Structure 1
Amino acid sequence: MIERHYVNVPGGQMHYRRAGEGPPVILLHSSPLSSQAMEPWIRALADRMTVFAVDTAGYGQSDPLPVADPDIDQYARRVVEFADAVGLERFIVAGTHTGSKIALSVAVQYPERVAQLVMDGLGLYTSDELQRQLDHYTPPIVPNWYGGHLIEAWHRMRSMWTFWPWFNQTAEGRLDETVPPLDELHQMTFDMLRARPDWGLSYRAAFRYDARAALSRLRVPAVLLAKEADPLHEHLDRLKVEAPTLQVRSVANEDHLAELAAAFDTTLDLPVPPPAPSVEHRGGTSRRYVTTSQGRVHVRMDGDLSAPALLFVHGSPGSAESFAPLIEELATDHLVIAPDTLGNGYSDAPRVADPDIAYFASVYAEVLEQLNVGPVAIYGSHTGACIGLELAIARPDLVRSLVADGLPAFDEELQADLLANYWVSLEPERNGEHLLRAWHTVRDAQLWWPWYRDDREHRRPTGPSAPEELHRLVLEFIKSGPTYRLSYSAAFRYPSAQRLPKVQVPTLVCAAPTDMLHQDSQRIVGQAPVVSFVELDPAAGRDAAWAVRHHAATVAGR
């Protein structure tokens, strides 16, 4: 089983995958991907080694380095900080492409820590090639209003498997390579899109890194290999450097993974790695996984541990990160605990086929119990308002108060219409159409209610978000994948009007006039004695953060 973890490092966190038992090995992926790309390596090694596959700083789920233009040695330093944090004294380090250069720098700078180095593809560029790569390989991703940048990113990634370099789209530039399956290509494109702050940072660091000079200083046992279809295979003949501890191997395409696995020396007498350390929240923002009976839940925490605890339950589609600006505002005077609902964000998919709101609420209760937090105030938006309400009803011992921002209460006709028409397919398609579909689904939801009824009757009095903000929201939608519909469907079916009178904790229902749930939210409030309604008006300062603080003050004054 491949586990996923975070660990604290100076100035941030690193995300990694861990599997197996035996001598420790750290795996470093190529740019602009994540540790998910290393899962074939993990599976090949985990029967005899403890494998740590790390998201490079700024990629996957790891925080960026605190420098504007990092070099390979700084990325390598972060790897050693990771090793310190997870308790590795000596280890094998291995990487592919950019990961090879980071691994090489680790071995050269910290030879006392590295028992063996394994590199899969190592770029050794001429000065003309280097300049061309720096000039053309990593153009910025600039969101535009119609989502065309997503299609551009998709085809750039696809072209990386078709041409070398990807921008040399000529017969001479064709690669003898197979384009990955659509699900893998989708993950690679998503990794490119979510890289922070710039998907090209580690690429440019790798292009500039003088690998020949580093190899001349190499003192640890090392293996460099490349498969025949790798565009860096021809660079094996460019080595021309004295490196007595280095073995160089050219391998057939079909033998690539087996040869890689065979290159690792499992006879080395290395200390057994300790268990994965738990994450300690030190203020600011931290992330962790919480294991529940229904799967792993990704949890974001913000704020001071001594502040009042607020459980933040996000709306659909998206994740806690979709609400990052509001979370950061609330964290100025709260400890904000923001899980990703199962089937959303980085949390596992639900383990039942058709979960209801009570199911999701029970998982949130488990999260609070695992974190030993409660009773808490709750803020929930739309789907999150349903989950928060049900949690308050089922587990009043865990809940101090509730703010439900937009509580759905649909009649049978609208409910049936939503359940029949609301979902879109996020299954990857050959030309990236699914990315454009995700973009316009989120954008249209800001223009019409429901989003698929684009007529005058269903027009919303709102405009679309700016492209940069819309891009952020769409990435959170894409992150969830096809399982995004499960919590949505549960909210559409949830009988808010019947459940609201059963709540016993002080509850504030709120909504702005532009919220499509405003009328229903206001209509059902009178049925519950401990529930009140307030209309939000962000222009007048009465926004969601104000509602949370207003309700807390009201509850404290009772």
Structure 2
Amino acid sequence: MRITRHYLTLAGRRVHYRMCGSGPPVLLVHQSPRSSDEYTAMMAQWGERFTCIAPDSPGFGQSDPLPIASPTTEDFADAILDFADAVGFRAIAAYGFHSGGIFLMNALRRHPERFVALAVGGYPCFHPHELDDVGEAYLRPFHPQPYGEHLLWAWNRMLEQSWYFPWYKPEQARRMSAPHADPMVLHPQVMDLLASGDAYRHGYRAALSADYDVPPAGADVPPALLSSYSSDPMTAHMARFPALPAGWSTAEQPDPAAHSSGNADWLAHHPAPAFMPVQDIDRGFLPVRTDAFDGLIHWRGSGDVLHIHGPGRSLDLLPESVLAIDLPGHGLSDRWPGEPPLDWAAWAAVIDSAAKQLGASDTRSEPLLPGEPELLFPDLTPDRYGNHLVNAWALLRAGHAFSPRYAITRDTMAPMAEGAMDLTTLAREHLALMRSSAALALHRARLSTR
């Protein structure tokens, strides 16, 4: 099932959301430090029954952070309601997991009239002594470091949160029941953390410092399901809940798949009214179909000239003032189906289609990097130990001092621009390179036109 992607601006703050399916609308709110990408597999299933709308929470994924120094639970909950209003919800049926569920619960407690029904996965009910485990020690600052130290921390922090709870206490008593070390599962989680940067702490802090917001028994509130699956550390918390309001229930499912299915079945009994979602018109995702590509192309800006980034880069690295796209397998655009083409004609067809839809009469491309393609763009397949992240960082760092960037000799020293090693810039370049699945193919395809 095709998942589409959109932007919506609320009081100057950009919100990114995913959507798919047909049927009654359901709002999906992700956990920290993820993004709506967390729900892509679930949306593909739920889309058979619902119109799924999943925003990136403020400061996560592609959504701007709240303009607040230390946002609270209420601030994140209000942001959910503001988005629901702006996108078109008339009444809300919603699902949220962990911090997503915490924010939704706060919104429902304060504004029950806004909801049709709420399903929450892994809602916490901490004992006072447990709150020390999820305080500031849980929220280590996250800033780019010169030699990529932050990348190894991010990888291992996300890895070991499946080994211990909390992640920073590697002790026998803190062991989790379902540890893993699958780099293909871990990589998208780490990429979401890299996209958020230090803003990841705001969502976590707001959720982990939240009050217990489940309404008391007797409260006049819409129905809700509070559930979890066996390996989730929050499952044990359900036994601590005091008496629930009428129409509220709890359930423990054996695994994530059963949890997803159980929540979908429950929400199907509480449909929300349909509406036509709203989106921005100055940036977004174009549907592009050619002989070799059928997917979404990320774009932003305006103008007669369409600017094309170089291999392994993205439109985020181009001036904000220009019209630009992310090529397939780059930035936020969809990947090529199968192996990326080495034939420039396939790339040109996508560019021509995007240019036509955006009203551009000309194109302009960034120059290619000098050097051997395979050395400029080595294999960065996710590695069990996170080495792919650090390798990419080191390659980019060298590229600001040597040309070609993989050859470090006296003869290859290149002039260094002022601010070349700026860590914020390096982090943006690194994110673009790590998102690129077709950099080598694009480089070789462009070389074939010379």
TM-score (norm: length of structure 1): 0.74
Shift of the 43–292 alpha-carbon distance from structure 1 to 2, 3 Å rule, reads closer
Q: Aligned to 1:205, what secondary structure does the other structure show?
A: helix
**Superposition deviation, residue 251 in structure 1:** 2.4
1:247 aligns to 2:234 (yes or no): no
**Superposition deviation, residue 195 in structure 1:** 0.7
Residue pair 1:344, 1:479 contacting (<8 A) in 2 also: yes
Residue pair 2:314, 2:432 contacting (<8 A) in 1 also: yes
Residue pair 1:449, 1:460 contacting (<8 A) in 2 also: yes
Residue pair 2:98, 2:123 contacting (<8 A) in 1 also: yes
Alignment of 1:84-99 (within 5 A): 84-99=85-100
Measure, in 1, the Cα distance between the counterparts of 2:91 and 2:30: 20
Post-superposition Cα deviations, 1:255-300, rounded to whole Å, max 9, x if no partner, equal: 63355345523233532232x444223xxxxx30011113311012
Post-superposition Cα deviations, 1:21-56, rounded to whole Å, max 9, x if no partner, equal: 111111111110011112333233222111112211
Letter in 2 for 1:8: L
Measure, in 2, the Cα distance between the counterparts of 1:469 and 1:272: 43
Residue pair 1:140, 1:198 contacting (<8 A) in 2 also: no
**Superposition deviation, residue 63 in structure 1:** 1.9
Match of residue 342 from structure 1: 328
Match of residue 364 from structure 1: 351
Residue pair 2:373, 2:443 contacting (<8 A) in 1 also: no
Match of residue 442 from structure 2: 487
Measure, in 2, the Cα distance between the counterparts of 1:494 and 1:309: 24
**Superposition deviation, residue 197 in structure 1:** 5.1
Shift of the 2–63 alpha-carbon distance from structure 1 to 2, 3 Å rule, reads farther
Structure 1 stretch displaced more, 444-453 or 57-66: 444-453
Match of residue 544 from structure 1: none
Match of residue 432 from structure 1: 386
Match of residue 284 from structure 2: 288
Letter in 2 for 1:493: S
Give 1:466's match in structure 2, choosing from 412, 422, 426. 422
Measure, in 1, the Cα distance between the counterparts of 2:216 and 2:13: 30
Q: Aligned to 1:103, what secondary structure does the other structure show?
A: helix
Measure, in 1, the Cα distance between the counterparts of 2:166 and 2:228: 17
Structure 1 stretch displaced more, 48-57 or 95-104: 48-57
**Superposition deviation, residue 150 in structure 1:** 0.2
Shift of the 153–270 alpha-carbon distance from structure 1 to 2, 3 Å rule, reads closer
- Structure 2 residue runs of 5 or longer lacking an equivalent are none
Shift of the 265–213 alpha-carbon distance from structure 1 to 2, 3 Å rule, reads closer
Shift of the 2–181 alpha-carbon distance from structure 1 to 2, 3 Å rule, reads farther
Measure, in 1, the Cα distance between the counterparts of 2:444 and 2:107: 48
Measure, in 2, the Cα distance between the counterparts of 1:249 and 1:94: 14
Shift of the 169–221 alpha-carbon distance from structure 1 to 2, 3 Å rule, reads same
Residue pair 2:24, 2:271 contacting (<8 A) in 1 also: yes
Match of residue 313 from structure 1: 308
Measure, in 1, the Cα distance between the counterparts of 2:150 and 2:25: 40
Residue pair 2:125, 2:212 contacting (<8 A) in 1 also: yes
Shift of the 292–39 alpha-carbon distance from structure 1 to 2, 3 Å rule, reads closer
1:477 aligns to 2:440 (yes or no): no
Match of residue 395 from structure 1: none
**Superposition deviation, residue 474 in structure 1:** 0.7
Letter in 1 for 2:274: V
Measure, in 1, the Cα distance between the counterparts of 2:215 and 2:304: 50
Match of residue 299 from structure 1: 299
The alignment's C-alpha RMSD in Å is 2.4
Measure, in 2, the Cα distance between the counterparts of 1:213 and 1:19: 30
Aligned length: 441
Which structure is larger by alpha-carbon Rg, 1 or 2?
1
**Superposition deviation, residue 380 in structure 1:** 3.1
Give 2:367's match in structure 1, choosing from 382, 388, 394. 382
Alignment of 1:48-197 (within 5 A): 48-179=49-180, 181-195=182-196
Measure, in 2, the Cα distance between the counterparts of 1:75 and 1:291: 31
**Superposition deviation, residue 7 in structure 1:** 3.3
Measure, in 2, the Cα distance between the counterparts of 1:120 and 1:455: 55
Alignment of 1:222-261 (within 5 A): 222-253=224-255, 256-257=258-259, 259-261=261-263
Measure, in 2, the Cα distance between the counterparts of 1:200 and 1:423: 32
- Structure 1 residue runs of 5 or longer lacking an equivalent are 282-286, 384-407, 496-558
Give 1:454's match in structure 2, choosing from 400, 408, 412. 408
Letter in 2 for 1:423: F
Match of residue 422 from structure 1: 376
Residue pair 1:223, 1:263 contacting (<8 A) in 2 also: no
1:38 aligns to 2:39 (yes or no): yes
Match of residue 550 from structure 1: none
Post-superposition Cα deviations, 1:490-548, rounded to whole Å, max 9, x if no partner, equal: 233331xxxxxxxxxxxxxxxxxxxxxxxxxxxxxxxxxxxxxxxxxxxxxxxxxxxxx
Measure, in 1, the Cα distance between the counterparts of 2:382 and 2:55: 25
Residue pair 2:3, 2:44 contacting (<8 A) in 1 also: no
Alignment of 1:496-535 (within 5 A): none
Shift of the 129–258 alpha-carbon distance from structure 1 to 2, 3 Å rule, reads closer
Measure, in 1, the Cα distance between the counterparts of 2:214 and 2:259: 28
Measure, in 2, the Cα distance between the counterparts of 1:262 and 1:342: 33
Shift of the 420–368 alpha-carbon distance from structure 1 to 2, 3 Å rule, reads closer
**Superposition deviation, residue 201 in structure 1:** 0.8
Match of residue 273 from structure 1: 275
Measure, in 2, the Cα distance between the counterparts of 1:430 and 1:424: 17
Measure, in 1, the Cα distance between the counterparts of 2:69 and 2:215: 23
Measure, in 2, the Cα distance between the counterparts of 1:299 and 1:254: 34
Letter in 2 for 1:175: M
Percent identity of the aligned residues?
Answer: 27
Q: Aligned to 2:31, what secondary structure does the other structure show?
A: coil
Residue pair 1:343, 1:487 contacting (<8 A) in 2 also: no
Residue pair 2:93, 2:115 contacting (<8 A) in 1 also: yes
Letter in 2 for 1:319: S
Post-superposition Cα deviations, 1:147-192, rounded to whole Å, max 9, x if no partner, equal: 1210110000001111000011111111001326322200001101
Measure, in 1, the Cα distance between the counterparts of 2:94 and 2:422: 43
Measure, in 1, the Cα distance between the counterparts of 2:191 and 2:387: 14
Structure 1 stretch displaced more, 220-229 or 120-129: 120-129
Structure 1 stretch displaced more, 311-320 or 181-190: 311-320
Shift of the 231–451 alpha-carbon distance from structure 1 to 2, 3 Å rule, reads same
Shift of the 215–150 alpha-carbon distance from structure 1 to 2, 3 Å rule, reads farther
**Superposition deviation, residue 196 in structure 1:** 5.2
Letter in 2 for 1:312: H
Measure, in 1, the Cα distance between the counterparts of 2:439 and 2:360: 28
Alignment of 1:315-330 (within 5 A): 315-323=310-318, 327-328=319-320
